[in-house]
Chains A and B, each alone.
Chain A
Amino acid sequence: MSEVEILLDGAPVTCAEGLPLTEVLMARAPFWRQSPRQGAPRGMFCGMGLCFECVVVVDGAWSRACLERTRAGMSVRTDQPEDRP
């Protein structure tokens, strides 16, 4: 297994390379988004790119974490600059 370091909300995290990003995020906490009207906590649900519950910003781009694979140096933000009322 080759290990890589990614930046998760600015903090370095070491993990295996090529993992679904959702696995790394879930290992930290089961949720990282809030729903738009109730502000309820949300984490990965469908895991296959269709529900958009796992959305994060990867290297500045709005992305579904379940479709992202961990790679060295990727910067992941979960603090929702968009998608919030």
Chain B
Amino acid sequence: MTTLPQSAEVIVVGGGIVGLSVALALAEAGAKPLLLEAKSFGGAVTGGSLAAIGTHMHGLAEYGVMAHACDLWRAFAERTGNPFEHTAQGQVGFILDAEGMESGEGWVAEERALGAPCRMLTPAGLAEVEPRLTGPVLGATFAPDTATVNPFLAARTVLAEARAAGAVALDHAPVAGLLVEAGRIAGVCMADGAEIRAGQVVLASGPWSQEISVSAGVCLPLVPRQAQCLAALRQPPGTIRRIVSAVESRGGVASGYTQIQQAGSGQILFNTVVDFIETPPEAKDTVREVPSGFVLTSIDTLATLFPSLAEIPLLRSWVRFEAVSPDARFLAGAVGPEGLWVCAGDNGSGYCRSLMLGRFLAGEIIGAALLPGALQADARALYAPQRFTQVAA
């Protein structure tokens, strides 16, 4: 709501948790980032997130950087006085059948080998960990260190810290395209036609990144995917103690997805997706409503697992759009013309990685390793946009 500057050292496009984290890391590293958010900070993908912070069931390849990502959140909460409800309540992966049991045991064995504190729970053990989960489960995985944050307040805190470190962040400042001169990035073009010059531009606009990158001749393999959630009326504290999720089948594409948790406000958040629905690219620009079939499966899953909650009142629902990449991993690094960077492709679980990715990318931009040990190189290998041929084209 201030007048736009005419130039900046680095521009970060997107004021979700990823863009804010990049701006924070850049500012802390001494760069002077200018962050431009099209609408309100953390109002799109970020705000619709359930913001789980943990390594459980995220795959072995990313385990090291994810573990560090969790450490960064813990340290950030400590440093800021935790105004964003960072709570390590633990995660339960419920198991309904033999196949799920095999998956769960597989996850736990592999993660334990890497030093994770997760373990298997028998139904009796689960009754102690999650007393009101009385549905027909065979057992569960349990990751006691998985945490959640309040997604809105965490974004607000990262914003405040970034500003305190010297970043300038503007809301309702939509970027329409990129300026490229002599083969390198020269700045951004705003929706109202104004230009802001910068030698470095980071696209952290989630499912909108692709639309902006095409103006620099870059095609990012990111597509929007609709995701949604329901919230039931406030219940007494401790009604649901952990993050309750389905055990994902290992190795394959997720065939179903469930997450149920009690927010700090007491409201019960729950969602079950059986089939990911086809999402037209323009859907992300309209206000969408939850599909009726999704409401049915979500209510049925909640009622099956938590019969005592089967009749509580529904309060609210919302839809958000995740940026999905072909291999379900972020794109973070240099892309296209010199000076252009991307940090997008949350695949529905970007919150956990955001602080880590911010530091990784800021390090790449300023030419320093901001992640400890081998992690900077690990992240470069994991998230290199060049792994997709479309990007180079």
Mark A residues whose CB is within 8 Å of B.
36, 62, 82-85
Contacts and interface: CB of A to CB of B under 8 A. Distances in A.
Contacts of B312: 62, 82
A62 to B, nearest CB: 6
Contacts, number: 20
A57 to B, nearest CB: 11
Interface residues of B, number: 9
A62 B236 contact: no
Contact of A85 (B233, B236, B313): B236
Interface in B229-274: 233-237, 265-266
Nearest to B313: A62
B266 to A, nearest CB: 5
B150 to A, nearest CB: 14
Contacts of A83: 233-234
Contacts of A82: 233-236, 312
| Chain A facing B: main interface SS | loop
Interface in B201-244: 233-237
B235 to A, nearest CB: 6
B60 to A, nearest CB: 39
5 contacts: A82-B236, A82-B312, A83-B234, A85-B234, A85-B266
The 6 A-B pairs of least Cβ separation, nearest first, read: A85-B266, A83-B234, A62-B313, A85-B237, A84-B236, A82-B235
Contacts of B236: 82, 84-85
Nearest to A61: B311
A58 B353 CA distance: 46
Contacts of B265: 36
A31 B266 CA distance: 23
Given A62-B313, A82-B235, 4 more contacts: A36-B266, A62-B312, A82-B233, A84-B234
B310 to A, nearest CB: 13
A37 B233 CA distance: 15
Interface string B296-314: 0000000000000000110
A82 B233 CA distance: 9
A62 B315 CA distance: 12
Q: Which of B237, B265, B266 has the most CB of A within 10 A?
A: B266
A85 B238 CA distance: 9
Nearest to A81: B236
Contacts of B313: 62
Nearest to B239: A82
Nearest to B234: A83
B293 to A, nearest CB: 26
Contacts of B237: 85
Nearest to A60: B311
B88 to A, nearest CB: 20
B161 to A, nearest CB: 25
A85 B239 CA distance: 10
